[in-house]
Amino acid sequence: MSEYEFAATASDVGKGEHVPPTMTQKSLNDDVLKLISVPGPVWWTIFLLDLAILLVAMIAERNQIVHGVGVAGHTRPVMWASYVANFVFWVGIAHCGTLVSAILFLFRSHFRRAVYRVAEAMTVFGVLTAGLFPILHLGRPWFPYWLFPYPSQRQIWPNFRSPLEWDVFAVTTYLTVSSIFFIVGIIPDAAAMRDRARNPFMRLIQTIFSFGWRGSNNQWKHFYSAYLYFAAFATPLVLSVHSVVSWDFAMAQVPGWHSTIFAPYFVAGAIFSGVAMVINLLIPIRWGFKLQHIVTVDHIEKLSKLVLLTSTIVGYSYLVEFFSAWYGPSPYERDLFWWRATGHFAWAFWIMFTCNVIIPLSLWFKSVRRNMTVLFVICLLVNVGMWFERFVIIVTSLARPFEPMSWGVNYRMSWTEGAILAGSFAWFFMYFLIFVRLLPAFSVAEIKETLPPPMRRQPS
């Protein structure tokens, strides 16, 4: 029986859940594709607000380029801070998409069908956001191309020993693959759209995204094999990309960075924040567009279980770090972790620990997992916590270097950094808002697989 019959069961009655009519192929098409229409005042308000925030961030960035990185709060020894934290945060967000769409696809876990399109969009836009920060945290942001290996008259090449150089490859690869995966997945739906579209502009867009899809058997066959291939291709990236990002820190010998657990720890954290972000996106969408019957409570609950799992992994990593600091030989490491939990930045550490380890424990309760409002808030907190995790790892480790001489110079976030952080969210949602209006946010084609085939009425 298809999972959509659950939605109609009594279990939802009285939970304020909208009980959908039994879904047909037509109603599904209508429901999903109605999203793609001329946007209303609500959408425009949100969109303009978003652009306003983005504008402020751009002013701040211009300011920084003209006057120098000094307008941000960096000091010696804290030479990296919020910008790099944002980078890692957004790369992390970008992870869940591939996980949901690719890995769950390979595992044939069908609950992904309703949610993977949103997750994939989030992935692509997340990488697009993350990719900004390595550039704008530079002292001379007009020279980022020097990090790319190209033959120049200077006859010099980048330093392939530097983890930052590895980042260049990791992130660009991930962007390429995830966007391909995203675009390929859209093809059938885009074709359906194209056939329905009246507005010529829309038709043009959809024509481009449908790559001349006709829906013939042959095309379906190729489509699925290609899709499977891309899924298999993307899966290892989920692990590799964030491992490489984690090595920016693990490869340095700074106490608090120089640790072998970082790769798995970061990957888990990435999925953790990513899934939380998916939930944060889905809940408003299904509520706003009345799609509770497509993205059901069960889907969300399954995702929230993923959140719970990864949260425990992250929590374990936190504890193990402290254990190995205490158990290990390095006095620097020991001193740092003690300071991290009790020193100047203890508040950040405890925000991180509460949001990422303690609060998610409530997800052990089914009632919590199925309560959309509470779940939304929890996931929000998880994302706050995950941003602070990056902040704690970067700033506290740097603020406590080997030589006591440099202690006590503490980093303070400047308004420029604040504006640019807000701007990164504005940037991300700008893409997302356009996406929901331009392309099908849910995979019509795949959901249809779960519907009963359309039967002609019995002849009398």
Residues 241-260 close enough to bind other proteins by CB under 8 A:
251-254
212 binds other proteins (CB under 8 A): no
The one-letter amino acid code at 281 reads L
CB of residue 171 to other proteins, shortest distance in Å: 13
Rounded CA-CA distance 417/61 in Å is 9
**168 lies in the site for other proteins, by CB under 8 A:** yes
Question: How far apart are alpha carbons 137 and 167 in whole angstroms?
Answer: 14
Q: For residues 17 and 165, which CB has a smaller minimum distance to other proteins in the complex?
A: 165
Whether 131 and 171 have beta carbons less than 8 Å apart is answered as yes
Binding mask 330-359 for other proteins (x = CB under 8 A): -xx--x------------------------
20/73 with CB nearer other proteins: 73
Among positions 369-408, residues that touch other proteins (CB under 8 A) are 398, 401-408
The angle subtended at Cα 298 by Cα 296 and Cα 300, nearest 5°, is 80
Only one of the segments 145-153, 177-185, 272-280, 310-318 lies at the binding site for other proteins (rule: CB under 8 A); that segment is 145-153
Neighbours of 208 (CB within 10 A): 12
Separation CA 304–CA 284 (nearest Å): 15
Region from 157-165, 197-205, 292-300, 364-372 binding other proteins, contact rule CB under 8 A: 157-165
Count of residues near other proteins by CB under 8 A? 52
Q: What is the DSSP letter of 440?
A: -
Pick from 80, 116, 230, 337 the residue near other proteins by CB under 8 A: 80
Strands (E), 297-368: none
The count of other CB atoms within 10 Å of the CB of residue 301 is: 19
Nearer to other proteins, 79 or 320 (CB): 79
138 or 341: CB nearest other proteins: 138
Minimum Å gap between C-beta 68 and other proteins is 4
- Non-local (6+) Cβ contacts of 69 within 8 A are 137, 138, 139
Burial of 422 by CB count in 10 Å (0-12 exposed, 13-18 middle, 19+ buried)? Answer: middle
Cβ–Cβ under 8 Å, residues 134 and 87: yes
| Minimum separation from the CB atom of position 373 to other proteins (A) | 42
Q: Identify the H or E element spanning 353.
A: helix 346-353
Beta carbon of residue 410, minimum distance to other proteins (angstroms, whole number): 8
413 makes contact with other proteins (CB under 8 A): no
Looking only at residues 19 through 58 of this chain, which bind other proteins when binding is defined by CB under 8 A? none
| Cβ-Cβ contacts under 8 Å for 20 (sequence gap 6 or more) | 4, 7, 8, 292, 293, 294
Of 131-139, 237-245, 342-350, 436-444, which segment contacts other proteins by CB under 8 A?
131-139
Q: Which of 162, 172, 225, 373 binds other proteins (CB under 8 A)?
A: 162
CA distance 337 to 381: 24
43 vs 332, beta carbon nearer other proteins: 332
Contact between 152 and other proteins by CB under 8 A: the answer reads yes
Cβ(80)–Cβ(406) below 8 Å: no
CB of 345 to other proteins, least distance (A): 15
HSE-up of residue 174 (Cα within 13 Å, Cβ side): 37
Residue (258 or 305) nearer to other proteins, CB: 258
Considering the complex, what minimum distance in angstroms separates the CB of residue 141 from other proteins? Answer: 8
Cα separation, 172 vs 176, whole angstroms: 6
Note the residues at the interface with other proteins (CB under 8 A).
Answer: 67-70, 73-77, 79-80, 137-140, 143-144, 146-147, 151-159, 161-165, 168, 251-254, 331-332, 335, 398, 401-409, 412
